Amino acid sequence: MTFSDDLDRIGADARQALTQAADAEAVDRIRHDLLGRSGQLTTLLRQLRTLPAEERPAAGQRANEIRRKLEGAIHERLAALRHDDLEARLGLEAIDMSAPGRPVAVGHLHPVQTLMRDLREIFHAYGFEVFEGPEVETEAYNFELLNIPPDHPARDLWDTLFVAEPGSTDGGIPQPATDGTILRTHTSPVQMRAMEALDAPIRVLTPGRCFRYEAVDASHAFEFFQVEGLVVDRDTSLADLKGLLEEIARAVYGRDVRTRFRPGYYPFTEPSVAFDIGCLVCGGEGCPACKRSGWMTILGAGMVHPTVLRNGGFDPDEYQGYAFGMGPDRMTMLRHGIGDIRLFFSADLRFVTQFSQGH
């Protein structure tokens, strides 16, 4: 075979191989087999020097022409393969504008926060405004100004979480701060702050977190929420309190809910009452949830104690007031039939996602 015949054979074989190449990797192998340092065309071009001198110019020109055509064919084949690959990917990634959109996960309120939001909206309709205070309190606001003396059981270490004095330890145990700084055990201190900051008439709602040194079980937690209310005016009465709480119970649990007042005791109210609703579990027939009584206590209330009014800057001979405090955690348990308060703080998505619509 002559040099020219070898060139034609290499060119024909290469064009056929390029036509059959399925991807860029196959084209790159063909390019390497032809034009690499040991490629067929490169090896053949080295043989130019063995040809007679009079044949070399024509053979060299022919070889360069074949080389340019093969490089062009390789470039065209790569471009065609890239185009086909792009078309295939675009086909797979095409958006059907008529198809329904993919659902996007949206966050929602915790069920306790949903109830607290509902309470704020309900009480707002009765003229209450939200008044908030610090979660880290002093013993004076948390106890003394609320008519709770130093020997009251609520001030025992078993109930109150004291803030540690920086750098103060006794046998490796941090000691309570000497200035009486504690984590508030209820939101009642905010009522004192409201009386100090506002003039009568006062209608405030004080939602927030509270902390007590409690053994955690199905119905108790060391961290919980409270919503308290305070009204101070010249003509308030226990009848006003009773009417308000009955309307609140109907707004939260339905118009058919049964309610009742019972005598109670709280050091910052006098007289004091417990407010019950008919058991939502058994319908009032008696069950373990209501201790066979047919009633469930949802809050405590009463007329503000004269000493508390005086500590807040109001003359008890001129002003009266009533206050109430409810536990949103337990109210939420009643609302949804939840049997364990610990579920609220478990961060278990299987639990909280059941309340995405607040129900």
Q: What span, in angstroms and rounded, lies between the C-alpha atoms of 327 and 341?
A: 12
Torsion angles phi and psi, residue 326, rounded to 5: -130, 155
pLDDT score for 5: 67
Question: pLDDT tier at 310 (50, 70, 90 boundaries)?
Answer: very high
Sequential DSSP letters for 217-234: BTTB-SEEEEEEEEEEES
3-class SS of residue 353: helix
pLDDT higher than threshold 60 for residue 359: no
Question: pLDDT tier at 226 (50, 70, 90 boundaries)?
Answer: very high
Q: What span, in angstroms and rounded, lies between the C-alpha atoms of 128 and 170?
A: 46
Q: Does residue 240 contact residue 261 with C-beta atoms inside 8 Å?
A: no
Sequential DSSP letters for 59-123: HHHHHHHHHHHHHHHHHHHHHHHHHHHHHHHHHHT---TTSPPPP-------HHHHHHHHHHHHH
Q: What span, in angstroms and rounded, lies between the C-alpha atoms of 170 and 237?
A: 50
Q: What's the pLDDT tens digit per position in 251-273?
A: 988 888 899 999 998 889 999 99
Q: Between these two residues, 87 and 260, which has the higher pLDDT value?
A: 260
Q: What's the pLDDT tens digit per position in 9-57?
A: 777 777 777 777 777 777 777 777 777 777 776 776 776 667 777 776 7
Where would I find the beta strands (DSSP E) of the chain?
Answer: 129-130, 136-138, 164-170, 173-176, 181-183, 202-211, 223-233, 259-266, 269-278, 295-304, 320-326
